[in-house]
Structure 1
Amino acid sequence: MDSSNTSWEGGFILMGFSDWPLLEHVLFIFISIFYFLTIFGNSTIITVSRMDHRLQTPMYFFLNNLSFLDLCYTTSTVPQLLVNISGTDKTISYAGCMTQFLTVLLLGGTECVLLVVMAFDRYAAVCHPLLYTSIMHPVLCQALAISSWMGGLVISVTQTVLIMTIPLCGRDLNHFFCDMLVLLKLACEDTGAIEDNLFVAGIIMLACPVALILGTYAHIGHAVLKIKSMAGRRKALGTCGSHLVVVFLFYGSAMYTYLQPVQGFSESEGKFVALFYTIVTPMLNPLIYTLRNKDVKGALWKVFGRGTDTG
């Protein structure tokens, strides 16, 4: 157990991209730009949705939650990364590491559940349009949003407690944040039982939601085929298509990373995949939801004073 005391007392060293010192300068510039765009894009979605009464619907209520999640998710890792890249101090305390680990899992787990909720919202809108407002009652929407956060909280606390029970040997984390798989690689003892537990958690939080979403969209696709109006089909496919793109971006990278054995995890490759789901995906989400959405684009023009209120 003595070998693990270093982690408790001195914390960890986040190696980040120090293996590629020349790349760090380029990454600092691009990550800073992406982070700014993420903050701007998601803040704009939240602001516009609150200012335009036409966007105060269940779909945009959940989109607001997603944008807030993306803001928090990116902020939980990127500022630390930028500090590490730009300076020589790459340390993080044990408490700070566990807090970051808990936060990343909380936000990631919440998004897993929220994307399922958003699929249900699209199912209600497309398959039961006449009952949509009564089904997606504000009370139910709030309950579903709270349930998403509670689901993320349960999974994050459980996994954090498990990680904290493992004695760790060494301080060097070959990553830019305190990630589950990298922490497990520092374990001083066999982690087979814990890895099995984490794999089951991954199935519950990743594979099961994907199956539910795909099943939901199978019903939505069947309902869309029954719509005779081409305009109606385009409108249904527009909002549903945006959600599906977000689902594939988020779950694809997460499943690629976490549904694999710890020993088979490549830390170098994992860092670049992590850049995608912690920085690129949150930046793209506002674009995905606005480029093909006339309501949001109209609200943007209105807010920035280039349109008229058609009320």
Structure 2
Amino acid sequence: MSSILVTGANGQVGFELQRSLASWGTVAAVTRAEMDLASEASILLVLEAHKPSIIVNPAAYTAVDRAESEREQAMAVNAAAPGVMARWAADNGAYLVHYSTDYVFDGTKADAYVETDPVNPQSVYGESKWLGEEAVRSSGARHAILRTSWVYGHHGNNFLKTILRLAQERSSLNIVADQVGAPTSAALIADVTRRVVEFVSGPEAPDVSGTYHLSAQGNTSWHGYAAHIVREVSARNVKLALTLEALKPIPTVDYPTPAKRPQNSRLNCTKLMDCFDLPLPAWQEGVNGVIERLVPAAH
């Protein structure tokens, strides 16, 4: 049995990792209160106390817009902290699974991004996540960096839950329609992580250290995503204030935010699927599953 340390225990992915990894090893899941990612001393204290053979780090500074005015905090958590964990992993023979984001790209590519495409983050958040990747890669630790996109789940706050709430409160809604990506469930990310951990944990485990793209398959816009949620909830005979006709598509320019978002967040996941022999589901499958959990059908 492996000794596994999971950071960000209360986050969307951290919550699901405790489920997916429970049968694979002894899991210690720590919260922000227990491990302060802005403090190298706090990180090292926890690592030395647990001495994990596998570190799984979904914890991050994810307030994308606030990061524009809180650069120092974002850099400490997203750029410096992964480097501290990775160097400890290298020194102690541990394996690190770290998560990154589509925001490392500028979103101008016509096709889905592959792992070797040049990065060009357009926000403090994206830059901080890219620097975190680089810190992990340069550490000498065995690692997997999993870049993902548009994360949601039944636990925590996310776009899906926001739309569910607003569809019950508002009779009209404007949603950005010219940013494209794949909604990816925290449960899927956790299940893929388990597969990676299984793959690298054996005595004859191949060294597959590297960067991988991980998202559900297919793509949609934020507006298409919201429309799918409204359709699915309506099909469950749940009364909504919002109709599909009143869900209006708007361009990004009509919804300005402090941080610039990539217009194309599509990730090509062929490398991950081939390396770990892993099929990935269509994005609608995970969304429907979470809706089923959150919205009981009305009779």
* TM-score interval, normalised by the smaller of the two chains: under 0.3
* TM-score (ref. length: structure 2): 0.25
Structure number with the higher helix fraction is 1
* TM-score (ref. length: structure 1): 0.25
